Amino acid sequence: MAKRFIAVDPGKFSTKVAEYDLKKDGIKKFQIRTKASPGDFRDDAIEANTVIAEIDGNCYKIGNGARGEGASLDTNKMSEIHKICALTALAASASSNEVDDFYVAVGLPAKDWANVSKRMDYKEYILPVGEITVPFKKNSTSPVQDKKFNIKKVFVYPESIGALFADETIFDISPTSITGVLDIGNLNLNATLWQGTEFIEDKSSTAELGGAILIQELSQEISSNICSCDELITANILKLPPNDRHLPDNLNLDSDKVEQSRALIKKVLKDHAEKIKRCCRARNWSLDVTKIVAIGGTSKDIEDELKEVFGNIVTLTDPTFCNAFGYLRMMCSQIPEISKVISLTDVSAMKNQESKAS
């Protein structure tokens, strides 16, 4: 049996997975869309980045090709979709010809984590300890495999703590350091304050200021002031470099409306950053003398605006995987055969460089 060390971060939009490779002293990572619908193992036209898996006796299509809306926009982590995607992530990682022993780290919103009863309930629900079999089909032409793995131990950590264990911040953390973490996900902003690695609950808050809310607001503003613009188009605009964020200029809009859209988008994004800052002030953060770190996929979308509003703020290189990396680092430091701060070197990138060199 191989021992495997893996962190799973089931988010509203995607489930992030990071695994520590003990031999290469580095990590492997991937993500799957947090989306599931009824599946059929006879399916011979499975979409890209999509798998078929049977969880608790029910067959699901999981990933980009799944029908429906994905994870519901609420704050509850104890939902069926998160459990389905977490177990699918382990099945995708598991060996085909042996039963792996998995040591798994997951996260829970910090305020829920601080409640022992909620933390224990979540641990038992999301990834039950013991041997599990997941019938699994990875693409249209592959056979159905029974992926068997043994969950030996599950570690639960508070969300946002991953920011404290990132390469950009870990060496600045001390028992007296104060760090504010802005975890801006798909639905929520989790603004958490930490002394060292201790969570300061009464100085922390959650607000619906994530990416989905920003996209919705931006779409409404553009539609009210310039032209009809749905949320899919708006979301794609946000993924562009800041200087290219405007409505398409090669279709029916004149140049004045294109420039108007550029200014409007900038205004909405800066207003969103200002709302985030007000959440911190409402909890009496000493912003001028507190190190502020931004994580979560949406932090990259509004990186420039966060810097304008907060001034000296750290936006992490890989904010999407930050929590998964943090959970993995914490777990590995607690496991006797590792017992160190692991490297976050990307093993898959190393492999690609080796193949190019040869």
The pLDDT confidence band at residue 352, using thresholds 50, 70 and 90, is very low
Distance from C-alpha of 70 to C-alpha of 37, rounded to nearest angstrom: 9
Contact at 8 Å (CB) between 91 and 134?
Answer: yes
- Measure the CA angle with vertex 281, ends 278 and 283; round to 5°: 120
The position carrying tokens 């693409």 is 139
Q: Which residues contact 206 (CB under 8 A, 6 or more apart)?
A: 75, 109, 111, 188, 189, 190, 191
pLDDT at res. 79: 82
Instruction: Quickly list DSSP for 18-58.
Output: EEEETTTTEEEEEEEES-EEE--TT-S-PPTTEEEEEETTE
Yes or no: say if 163 and 169 are a contact pair by the CB < 8 Å rule: yes
* Pair of tokens at residue 218: 């931006």
Tens digit of each residue's pLDDT (9 = 90 or more) over 83-128: 999 999 999 999 998 999 999 999 998 999 999 999 999 999 999 9
d(CA 61, CA 46): 9
Task: Indicate the average pLDDT of the chain.
Answer: 91
Would the CATH topology of 3-162+321-352 be identical to that of 168-316?
yes
Give the residue with greater pLDDT, 69 vs 53. 53
Taking residues 121-139, what's their average pLDDT? 95
For the structural domain made of 3-162+321-352, what CATH number should be given? 3.30.420.40
Give domain limits for the chain: 3-162+321-352, 168-316
pLDDT tens profile 233-242: 999 999 999 9
Give the pLDDT score at 107: 94
Which pLDDT score is estimated for 357? 32
Overall fold of domain 168-316: Nucleotidyltransferase; domain 5 (3.30.420)
pLDDT digits 0-9 by tens, 294-321: 998 899 999 999 999 999 999 998 888 9
- H or E segment and range at residue 92: helix 80-93
The span from the CA of 6 to the CA of 27, in Å, is 9
The predicted pLDDT at position 353 comes to: 35
- Residue 151 to residues 124, 159, 264, 339: CA-CA distances in angstroms? 11, 21, 50, 20
Residue 191, CB-side half-sphere exposure with 13 Å CA sphere: 24
User: Do residues 327 and 214 make contact, with C-beta atoms less than 8 angstroms apart?
Assistant: no
Report DSSP state, residue 296.
S
274-287 mean pLDDT:
97
- For the record, the structure tokens of 291 come out as 């190190």
Tally of CB atoms within 10 A around 296: 28
pLDDT band at 76 (very low <50, low <70, confident <90, very high): low
pLDDT of residue 121: 94
What is the bridge-based pairing of β-strands 36-38 and 14-21?
Answer: unpaired
- The DSSP secondary-structure symbol of 346 reads B
How many residues are present in the chain? 358
DSSP 104-119: EEEEE-HHHHTSHHHH
pLDDT in tens, 1-33: 789 999 999 888 899 999 999 999 999 999 999
pLDDT band at 251 (very low <50, low <70, confident <90, very high): confident
Angle at 90 between CA 9 and CA 82, to 5 degrees: 45
The CA distance from 327 to 156, in Å, is: 8
Tokens for 162? Answer: 């991953």
In this structure, the strands spanning 50-55 and 100-108 are unpaired
The residues with which 314 forms a beta bridge, in sequence order, are 293
86: left (phi over 0), alpha (psi -120 to 50) or beta: alpha
Contacts made by residues 274-281, CB under 8 angstroms, sequence distance 24+: 274/309, 275/207, 275/209, 276/182, 276/184, 276/189, 276/191, 276/207, 276/209, 276/306, 276/309, 277/309, 277/310, 279/189, 279/191, 279/205, 279/207, 279/209, 280/180, 280/182, 280/191
What are the backbone dihedrals phi and psi of residue 12, each rounded to the nearest 5 degrees, phi first?
A: -65, -35
